[in-house]
């Protein structure tokens, strides 16, 4: 179950983003969404047409995922919130977890990061049309196809990038797998405008919470531009999958992703465990 407050003014797009974020939790484990329930917090004094647009956006994503919307729950609240509780199915033999990465594995990501920065820029009315459109494109993209390829290949580990940011979810994978992950910051793909936004200080509060929680587990190259740390700690919404695949399967993964026109970038590798993630 996942729900949150709007990060865009367009009610229909907000519904799509929130639904995508929730549905992607099922894809992160190699599953197929089956049933969904709306989770709605909405002021009774507000326009119900706007609520209808939010729900329509969510429903369209549920349909795209091939799942069924069975209703939901709503409460009167001062601030709108929306999301889904999703149930899915997965073949136990194809279950993806974040606990199987092995030394030598290559680490891939299936979406660029930076939508948390862009969402902050949207609220500050400091976002370019290109950055806005690109962020919306990625935040409304289901991880369905990349999950199918990962499950078919039997990748060693997988998770999605959401509230803990890229570094947070990599640290979780490293800890669960008892390895250390070496991340090459310069290889991490960024949404247009994310670097500029971070450079201007358009950093959400969650970034600082993630940094405080994680910094003792992360070793940073002293020469790394600090803007990278802001980007890597920043929470993402409906982010891509992180995949750990053996070196021998890396080219197979890249070929499969390219064949289905799915974005995929090599950003690091797993090594023997050190005292940090």
Give residue-wise pLDDT tens across range 202-239. 999 999 999 999 999 999 999 999 999 999 999 999 99
Return the DSSP state at 130. H
Give residue-wise pLDDT tens across range 10-37. 999 999 999 999 999 999 999 999 999 9
Please tell me the predicted confidence (pLDDT) of residue 275: 63
What does the chain come to in residues? 277
Among candidate residues 108, 136, 129, 102, the one with its CA nearest the CA of residue 8: 136
Please tell me the predicted confidence (pLDDT) of residue 76: 94
Domains of the chain: 2-93 (3.30.1330.10), 96-272 (3.90.650.10)
- Per the CB < 8 A criterion, the answer to whether 103 and 271 are in contact is yes
- Per the CB < 8 A criterion, the answer to whether 146 and 240 are in contact is yes
Percent pLDDT > 90 in the chain is 95
> What is the pTM for the complete model shown?
0.94
Please tell me the predicted confidence (pLDDT) of residue 277: 46
pLDDT in tens, the chain (277 residues): 889 899 999 999 999 999 999 999 999 999 999 999 999 999 998 889 999 999 999 999 999 999 999 999 999 999 999 999 999 999 999 999 999 999 999 999 999 999 999 999 999 999 999 999 999 999 999 999 999 999 999 999 999 999 999 999 999 999 999 999 999 999 999 999 999 999 999 999 999 999 999 999 999 999 999 999 999 999 999 999 999 999 999 999 999 999 999 999 999 999 999 864 4
- Per the CB < 8 A criterion, the answer to whether 238 and 24 are in contact is yes
| Pairing assessment for the beta strands 179-183 and 106-109 based on DSSP bridges | unpaired
Number of helices followed by number of strands (H, E) in the chain: 10, 9
Please tell me the predicted confidence (pLDDT) of residue 104: 97
């Amino acid at each position: 179950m996942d729900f949150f407050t709007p990060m865009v003014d367009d009610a229909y797009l907000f519904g799509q983003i929130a639904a995508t974020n929730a549905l992607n939790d099922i894809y992160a484990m190699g599953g197929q969404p089956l049933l969904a329930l709306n989770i709605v917090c909405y002021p009774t004094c507000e326009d119900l047409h706007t609520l209808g647009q939010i729900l329509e956006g969510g429903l369209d994503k549920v349909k795209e995922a091939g799942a069924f919307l069975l209703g939901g729950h709503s409460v009167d609240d001062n601030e709108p919130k929306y999301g889904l509780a999703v149930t899915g199915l997965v073949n136990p033999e194809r279950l993806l977890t974040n606990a199987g990465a092995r030394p030598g594995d290559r680490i891939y990501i299936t979406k660029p990061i930076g939508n948390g920065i862009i969402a902050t820029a949207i609220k500050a009315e400091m976002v370019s049309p290109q950055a806005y459109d690109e962020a919306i494109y990625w935040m409304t993209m289901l991880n369905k196809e990349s999950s199918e390829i990962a499950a078919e290949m039997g990748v060693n580990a997988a998770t999605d990038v959401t509230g803990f940011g890229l570094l947070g979810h990599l640290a979780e994978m490293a800890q669960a797998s008892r390895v250390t992950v070496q991340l090459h910051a310069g290889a991490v793909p960024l949404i247009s405008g994310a670097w500029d936004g971070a450079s201007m200080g358009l950093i959400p509060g969650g970034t600082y919470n993630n940094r405080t929680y994680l910094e003792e587990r992360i070793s940073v190259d002293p020469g790394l531009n600090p803007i990278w740390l802001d980007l890597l700690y920043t929470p993402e919404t409906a982010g891509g999958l992180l995949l750990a695949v053996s070196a021998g399967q890396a080219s197979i993964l890249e070929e499969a992703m390219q064949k289905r026109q799915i974005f995929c970038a090599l950003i690091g590798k797993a090594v023997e465990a050190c005292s940090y993630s």
